[in-house]
Chain A
């Protein structure tokens, strides 16, 4: 091969590389009147929390389906792009950058780790961000000005759980906290301990991280046993929590599980089995369908139209539906009060100033409200007991 043809070959290769790298360019946009409103969803479908992450995502998409079928928000359709990030923070960051480039006006995220990792980014990009994470740090607009927490925080749920335990135990007892070994799991641990001190409860309190991928939690339970724990608060998703319930039943231990949020659902009961789950407590801020709140009617109508059996719809699905509902209401307010321009700051202002958002009794004590001082949407949560394979309401709208 001659020198000139070599040069030509190299040049051709480089040109090809340039051409390839230019592929996929796509300008972002949004804002003009009739165009659909773009929302990016970062979902965990196959990762460590996929058991509750996928119904949550389905609930969100169902809500969007429902609202688009009704003609959209003020005549504008919602266009949601949902992608799996498998509970990996770097993947979430990659998806986030993609959504920003696509011109989304708001983002629905999922885990605590990735929501925290993205919080300063969404603040500088001015994109309202809701997620499946209810960590306390995200409710402070000083720290995270564009994060909105729809439900009571994990810490508030932990406080409600401790209040209940204090009452149930007659004022003294040992509490073991089993938590997911991640920012999500650790979120309420320290706040729980502070709460016991603050309230002057005579409760022992010890936290144990739950190693992932276990076949059983017998080892952890024996540690809790030597602590003398009668109550086990679990801050993890349903599948590992169900394993703990099974182990307790197998070993005939006298322990009561108090599940927070992501394990307080039907999946926990069905995975553990009706018998093993019997009598355990579930702190769940979103009312399950069996609680038959007013806000469930719209879901039931939707399910009927789609021919979906309501028995297959768990609480996580309802959570997804109503978190998306709160965001959609914010967007509706932004359109109504603004000049038709829908962007991040407008939605943020709408959410902060619109007052109470009605959820028909499904979320917390029924309504969600944000303000410029606090992005804590609600403090009330339902308390349920697993009874005969169902979630039976013990108390609605319990606050710390």
Chain B
């Protein structure tokens, strides 16, 4: 018992490839599983709706992190890609009458295609220049859905009401059960997304993404096809984002351009920066953190309103300021985000009383 670990050591490649190396990690996995199951029994409908928002954000953030964190291609086009997923799925399911699961799947494919197209400049551009190019994709998509020339998207209404989700004879119910039923659907999809993303980076494809990020010329020299790697990263990432967009549409039951603005792109970037670039767990932490932050601030402001009336009367400003402050603090204190903080905590206990 009285052992002190010196680190996690692998003696074989199989062992290194394993997703979990220590028993504590299995315990944590079990606890996470229990947590996911327990949540719908302890939270009320309002907090369930926040849980659902978080689950959708997790899928989107994981997708963005594949592109930005793992492949090093900065993207400001997240909002636009979410919109592609949302509009495609709703038009296919509600207007063309396809089964919703099929519509969502096609929306994923469609977003991947659009994402790949807008990823083309990424073959020539890097860093800030690519950021501007993806900003253009955001603006173009936003422009199209906002102006809706020819009314082919919303039929002149400016928004689309989405029918309540139903598939294979199952229909999501009224307000008493709505959030809980959605929770089950979203939890399953979020878990699948996280597992899928986690596994991509155990394959050659995932490692080629990281090689591109770390040094693209070196990656090319060791035989990575840069064009293919970058475009695949755009496709895979956009696929996840398209799924998140489609789910947003069916969950919130309305699609309008106001939900897919540049602010959304920036919010998602903030999620993965705060959570930890280049880490799937980080995307999850970031999604949870950034979704909860405004809610927590509002509750705190409401509670303190009698003492500090300024907080209540200037709430959105306070929220924006806190949002900015959090990002700056993370960049200064732990640029690798919540995930790195968590790892440091783990290491502290693992190596205690020594520091490595």
- A residues lining the B interface (CB < 8 Å): 1-4, 6-7, 9-11, 14, 17-18, 21-22, 24-28, 45-47, 83-86, 88-91, 93-94, 97-98, 100-102, 113, 116-121, 124-125, 137, 143, 182-183, 186, 190
Contact = CB atoms under 8 A, between A and B. Distances in A.
Contacts of A26: 44
B162 interface: yes
Contact of B42 (A9, A25, A91): A25
A93 B42 contact: no
A18 B24 contact: no
Instruction: Pick the 9 closest A-B CB pairs, nearest first.
Output: A101-B46, A86-B316, A120-B161, A14-B31, A97-B49, A89-B258, A22-B42, A101-B45, A25-B44
B149 interface: no
A11 B349 CA distance: 14
B175 A25 contact: no
Contacts, number: 127
A125 B175 contact: yes
Nearest to B47: A24
Contact of B158 (A14, A88, A120, A183): A183
Nearest to B318: A46
B164 to A, nearest CB: 7
18 contacts: A1-B350, A3-B24, A6-B350, A7-B24, A11-B27, A14-B28, A46-B315, A46-B316, A84-B316, A85-B316, A86-B315, A116-B159, A118-B254, A119-B254, A121-B252, A121-B253, A124-B174, A125-B174
A11 B352 CA distance: 18
Given A83-B315, A91-B294, A124-B164, 4 more contacts: A45-B313, A85-B316, A101-B49, A125-B174
Interface centre among A3, A27, A91 (most CB of B within 10 A): A3
A46 B254 contact: no
A18 B43 CA distance: 10
B126 to A, nearest CB: 32
A18 B34 CA distance: 10
Contact of A84 (B254, B315, B349): B315
Interface in B113-134: none
A90 B259 contact: yes
A26 B44 CA distance: 7
B12 interface: no
B35 A137 contact: no
Contacts of B45: 28, 97, 100-101
A9 B159 CA distance: 49
A21 B43 contact: yes
A10 B254 contact: no
B256 A117 contact: yes
B95 interface: no
